[in-house]
Structure 1
């Protein structure tokens, strides 16, 4: 008497989704997973900060108010400082930075680096749209001072200057890194990107038109957007069979210097 055993499934040669996410040799492997995770992790502190702002958390409000009044007292007593901060804030406002990004995109298109130009455009546009939307959703009023040294319209959180400075600095840094080698020029590029981001944000607090948490929120959101679009670009590189890169070291497309059509 013969017995029929239930058919068994042959072992699948296709690795599981989890293993593919952690496989450095897979086209959507370890590097993309880490980049996407980094973008998510940056969004977590931003989301927590936004919730604290929405909930009017007392310790955060006291800290914001103390910093604002301290810097405002200094600004009132130092008019030259106010002029310097106004100039910096105007020169590196969102619209001038977007104009610089547009020139960069045009330059990339003329070199035939269409995908890299699309990445730069997407980064600036996505961040530029998310910022005003979040301002409306949070609806936080700007600091109220008896003798303001500067004025700004609209809601406060997150800071548009801080957000767009972070976006522009990230785009310029990751596009230009392949051109500067590994010496003093690379350090200078990093320092310039950090100065653009940090000083632009601090200028808004110094002028009394933003709270410190507004600027911190702009920085966090900007980093999250750059990380997310960089993860997407890394995904395309993997699909295209291009060598893996470390964006903070190599830029997002080191081939653009020699072979723009690969970018």
Structure 2
């Protein structure tokens, strides 16, 4: 009974998170389809001027955004999935890979639908292919950091520090995209929001699947978590 109540709480939290996040995301979607707003344009031009005046900072931003780009997160999640499979947590590994793939595909689809051009700045310090909304870097950083954090959370002692580190990586990657002039503020905010919504939605979906009898209840837990459950 207690386990079922816990499941209900988790599903409720996940469902509410999706609903709360998707409302502002849809507003940003409308903004992206409208003529360029003053906030997006003003921030893009100010940061571009700073980047031109500080080439050393610009170089550091490029290194950072490349180091924590989409491919880096995809590789990290793939390695995490392999580790989980070896520990017997196959369902959790499937959730991690599925969440990363679904989020990436959804972001690419929205880019095509919205078809927003990237900032057109004179003398750009960086270039990027494809459409602008939402930011793929911000989306994948949110997905990757969130997946890794939620997966290893039962094994961590300092969870507050882990949450802080995850959000630090997400925010800094998002900021580099605006500072380098390849995205608007609304692009990166939308990328982060979409990532949070996808994670919450897949958590709810996989919790329901796991509890429906598709697999043993303990299959979605890391081995260390399973052993502690048996002791209790």
Normalised TM-score (structure 2): 0.89
For each residue in 1:49-99, what CA deviation from the matched residue of structure 2 results, as whole angstroms up to 9, or x when unmatched? Answer: 10121123x6xx111010001111111111111011000110011011101
CA drift of 1:48 comes to 1.3
Aligned to 1:88: 64
Aligned to 1:257: 224
For each residue in 1:84-120, what CA deviation from the matched residue of structure 2 results, as whole angstroms up to 9, or x when unmatched? Answer: 1000110011011101110000110111100100110
Instruction: Rate the CA distance shift 1:85–1:231 in 2: closer, same or farther, 3 A.
Output: same
Aligned partners of 1:225, 1:258: CA distance in 2, in Å? 24
CA drift of 1:160 comes to 0.1
For each residue in 1:189-212, what CA deviation from the matched residue of structure 2 results, as whole angstroms up to 9, or x when unmatched? Answer: 112101111000100001000001
Unaligned runs of 5+ in 1: 1-23, 244-252
Aligned to 2:96: 120
DSSP 3-state at the match of 2:85: helix
Aligned partners of 1:54, 1:207: CA distance in 2, in Å? 22
CA drift of 1:40 comes to 2.2
- Bigger relative contact order, structure 1 or 2, given CA contacts below 8 A and separation 6+? 2
Aligned to 1:99: 75
Query: Which 4+ residue blocks in structure 1 deviate beyond 3 angstroms?
Result: 24-31, 236-243, 253-256
Tell whether 2:109 aligns with 1:136. no
Q: What is the aligned counterpart of 2:143 among 158, 167, 187? A: 167
CA drift of 1:31 comes to 3.6
Higher helix residue share? 2
Q: What is the aligned counterpart of 1:47 among 4, 26, 45? A: 26
RMSD of equivalent CA atoms = 2.2
CA drift of 1:256 comes to 3.6
Normalised TM-score (structure 1): 0.79
Aligned to 1:33: 12
Instruction: Rate the CA distance shift 1:191–1:26 in 2: closer, same or farther, 3 A.
Output: closer
Aligned partners of 1:193, 1:28: CA distance in 2, in Å? 25
